[in-house]
Amino acid sequence: MTYDRLVCANCAAPVSEGRCPVCRANRERLQQEYGFAGWNPMALIALLVVLIAAVALLAHQTV
């Protein structure tokens, strides 16, 4: 789950927008604890596809 779907209990806005000090503090904490938490899910899927393609290319080169 990415933190862009979390809602702040203090201001009822998405935490990713950082509207209040509580949102900003939690956004920073989440970014430090979970490096990929702020990434867009499509970006993670694209990264995974690139990594799989690189492994497939390396496997093809060794055969």
pLDDT at 45: 92
Residues 19, 20, 24: CA angle, nearest 5 degrees: 85
Q: Which domain holds residue 27?
A: 3-62
Question: 3 pLDDT band (50/70/90 cuts)?
Answer: low
Q: 18-62: per-residue pLDDT in tens?
A: 889 988 888 888 777 776 666 778 888 999 999 999 999 999 997
- Compute how many other C-beta atoms are within 10 angstroms of the C-beta atom of residue 20: 15
Please tell me the total count of domains within the chain.
1
Cα 11 from Cα 3, distance rounded (Å): 16
